[in-house]
Amino acid sequence: MNTLSADWSKPQRQAPSALVILLFKAVVSLLKVLWPLLLVFILNKKSNSSDKYEYIILGVSILSVLRSVIEYYNFRFSISNDNLIITSGLFTKKTVTLPLHKIQAVHSEQTWVHRLFNVSRISFDSAGSEKMEVKIEALDKLRTGLMKELILSGKSITVIAENEKQIVKEETLITLAPNDLLKLGLSSNHLEAFFLIAAFVYSTLNNAGVSDKEFEGGAKWVYENFGQSSLSLFLFMTMVVLIISIGFSVIRILLTYFDFIISRSAVGFRIKSGFLNKKEKFIPFLKIQFISWKANWIRRRIGLSLLQFHATGTEQMQRKMLVKVPVTREQFISLLADSYHPLLMASAHEAIKIHTAYISRRVFIAGLLPSVLLFPFLYPYFQFSSFFVLLLVGFVWLSAFLFQKKFRLWVDKEALQIKKGVWGRHELILKWNNIQSVQVEQSIYQRKHLLASLHLNTAGGIIDIPFIELHKAREIQNYALYKIETDSSGWH
Amino acid sequence: MEYFGNNQVDVSLLPKAEDISFQPIEKEYWKIMKWSWMITWSIILLTGVMLFAFIPGLRTVQSGLLLIPALAICLLSFWLMKKSFVQKGFAVREKDLLYKSGWLIQSISAIPFNRIQHCSVSSGILERTQGLASLSIFTAGASGSDLKIHGLKSTTANEMKDFIMTKIKTDEHTVG
């Protein structure tokens, strides 16, 4: 593969194992669709009555296999004149021409079937081609690596061949030790895990024919055995919920972050992780719009955060690039952020804070108003208990109070940094030139009190700065416009 | 040696988006807003009347009383619409476009030309009767960052679109 241009310019097939993978995919999708028919067929077999089901299953299976074989033999890809060209199809011939410089991201993925054959699925995302996904189902390791580097560099084929060694050079930044994984698992959102598993169990049992009455029977059994005193029932249920959700969270984290490595090359970050499905994602530096990192209450205490790169692109592409990088040490955050913009020194900048009026307005709009409106509807059903709805006011007050107290905005020549959060911590850093548009918003109350909310729209999402002084909001808007409009580098 | 400049920027001297005078949208657009309001509320009230007429269980005094808040909301929405119509305005500067809207929540959006991906002009049936059109401006940002200016004269909307497209091309050429 020394003369890359010669290799890529010829239309070529996927790795031979692609045929097996395509067949496997066909079988899986067939099983998903035909399992009721298959079930009927098996039951009929027991009663020794052969009928049309055999022919239907056989016919559909043959068609599927044929489709996979045709798909494999008619699929060709090449790179010519700095365009990725993919041709496919038999009856409907389809040629996709994708200019290399338009490709925003390259993703390679290995399911367990891919790992059996040591190949990867490689897919490409491009701006302006929403919902058009281009992928190669199976490509051998060598060609996968070369193609990724070639496209990510955004340079011509010949240049890449010369600089290949330099581009491939990577520096490993973070790996996760088993105890890091355990810490991550134990500090996950167990409530979310519990509800996920509860919903899954309920729907599975319901599908399997377990009726709501049988659920009630189970609940009755628990009540009869443990319900002699409400305390033992409560303890039993708490234990069950805790064990199930913690176990589920730990397994989920292990499956997602097993063998996690984030490395930095000259063009971007490479992130590899996964247990059963090994995933590898690339985030080119140029595509990063802003970086955020957050930690819940427990993770803050054990020094853990999840860092996220907010990249440009379609929603589908952003989902693909979405990787939450576990950060086990505070200094790793600045290490990762440095490639985008160094973190701002809080001590060197005056912090802009949210006005205290934010608390009363939140309490009024999100607490008091809904409570007062809900109360008359709830009272006929719950009588005295409906007064509990007023607890919402207290909850909203506490949340708004903590948010207002924690919020800090630091502004620098090239970037701004925000620290916020209610129970946990959430921070982000954004470069001015990554802003797409700016909006200053004022409610009647804010107009009277010379306050405003600011919305900074980026290609990676919207950043809201609520309830700051009006003159500061305007200063930020004017400065952001100045920075964007004098930016000659363009955004990506 | 190549000149490297890094002068301090006096923020107070930057052009101020809040100081510019906004150009109001066409008065004819108020007629369209009124028509849209009438059509929307006719549908809502007609649905209510039909439910009242055809579902016997709903023919109660309590249901009838619901008409009072419904009418109140209907009139309130008209009043708010009138207030917000007066607020709508736009301004084209050398390097960006500003749009002012809303009364309950007043906002000023600013989109620099070098962040616009593309723009389009559209005109619905009601708009066509008044010779009006809407200009939509799209950036690469989330959907909230896109802008739609209603109530422009058809010619103005097209001229603005051409002006923006020329600006985008010129900027691309300069950067490239």
pLDDT tens-digit map of A89-122: 776 667 676 767 667 677 778 888 888 888 888 8
Asked whether residue A215 falls in the same domain as residue A242, the answer is yes
Any domain includes A414: yes
| Among A186, A174, A188, residue whose Cα is nearest residue A330 | A174
Together in a domain, A143 and A97 = yes
Token pair listed for A113: 């079937």
Out of A146, A169, A192, a domain closes at A169
Calculate the CA A440 to chain-centre distance: 29
In a domain, A151, yes or no: yes
Residue A409 lies in a domain: yes
Sequence-ordered list of residues with C-beta below 8 angstroms from that of A99, at least 6 positions apart, any chain: A82, A83, A84, A126
Question: Cβ separation of B9 and A482 shorter than 8 Å?
Answer: yes
Q: With CB atoms and an 8 Å threshold, state whether A475 touches B174.
A: no
Kindly state whether residues A233 and A105 are assigned to the same domain.
Answer: no
Domain annotation covers residue A331: no
Shared domain for A102 and A193, answered yes or no, is no
Does one domain contain both A17 and A147? yes
Report chain B residues touching chain A, CB-CB < 8 A. Answer: 9, 11, 14-18, 95-96, 102, 104-112, 114-115, 139-142, 144-145, 147, 174-175
Higher-confidence residue of A490 and A264: namely A264
> A229 and A147 share a domain?
no
pTM: 0.71
Cβ-based neighbours of B59, under 8 Å, separated by 6 or more: B52
For residue B111, the chain A residues in CB contact (below 8 A) are 436-437
d(CA B35, CA B127): 10
User: Which residue in the set A413, A459, A474 is minimally distant from B16, CB to CB?
Assistant: A474
A387 and A429 part of one domain: yes
Per-residue pLDDT of A32-59, as tens digits, reads: 777 777 777 676 665 555 566 677 778 8
3-state helix, strand, coil in chain A (%, to 5): 55, 25, 20
Give me the residue from A462, A478, A482 closest to B144, CB to CB: A462
Q: Are residue A143 and residue A37 in the same domain, yes or no? A: yes
Task: For residues A42 and A80, state if they share a domain.
Answer: yes
User: Does position A489 have pLDDT exceeding 70, yes or no?
Assistant: no
| A281 assigned to some structural domain | no
Q: Is A414 exposed, middle or buried (0-12, 13-18, 19+ CB in 10 A)?
A: exposed
The CATH number that applies at residue A460 is: 2.30.29.30
Question: Which of A137, A169, A201 delimits the end of a domain?
Answer: A169
With contact defined as beta carbons under 8 Å apart, do A340 and A285 qualify?
Answer: yes
The residue in chain A having the minimum alpha-carbon distance to the alpha carbon of residue B101 is A441
C-alpha span between A349 and B140 (Å, rounded)? 30
A12 with A152, same domain: the answer is yes
The tokens describing A290, both together, are 């802003």
Q: Which of A315-319, A389-393, A399-403, B132-136 has the lowest mean pLDDT?
A: A315-319
Considering its fold, how many domains does chain A have in total?
3
**Is the pLDDT at A239 greater than 80, yes or no?**
yes
pLDDT of A255 higher than 80: yes
A208, A122: one domain: no
Q: Are A396 and A390 in contact (CB under 8 A)?
A: no
**E-state strands within chain B:** 23-24, 89-92, 96-101, 105-112, 116-122, 132-139, 147-153
- In a domain? residue A332: no
| Six token digits for residue A250 | 């730990």
- CB-based contact (8 Å) between A376 and chain B? no
Task: Please compute, for residue B86, the number of CA atoms within 13 A of its CA located in the half-sphere on the CB side.
Answer: 7
* Lowest model confidence (mean pLDDT) among A2-6, A316-320, A471-475, B136-140: A2-6
Is residue A139 located within the same domain as residue A77?
Answer: yes
Question: A127 at the B interface (CB within 8 A)?
Answer: yes
Q: In what order do the strands lie in the sheet with B147-153?
A: B116-122, B132-139, B147-153
Last-in-domain residue among A138, A169, A200: A169
A289 touches chain B (CB under 8 A): no
pLDDT (0 to 100) of residue A141:
80
Q: Structural domain of residue A215, as residue ranges?
A: 184-256
A207 burial (CB, 10 Å; 0-12 / 13-18 / 19+) is exposed
* Contact A433/B at CB under 8 A: no
Q: What is the ipTM of this complex?
A: 0.86
pLDDT in the model for residue B9: 72
Question: A464 pairs with which residues across the strands?
Answer: A455
Closest CB to B110 among A438, A447, A487 = A438
DSSP H helices, A258-329, are 297-301, 315-321
Q: What is residue A409's three-state secondary structure?
A: strand
Report chain A's mean pLDDT, rounded to a whole number: 81
Whether A301 is covered by a domain: the verdict is no
Residue A93 in any domain: the answer is: yes
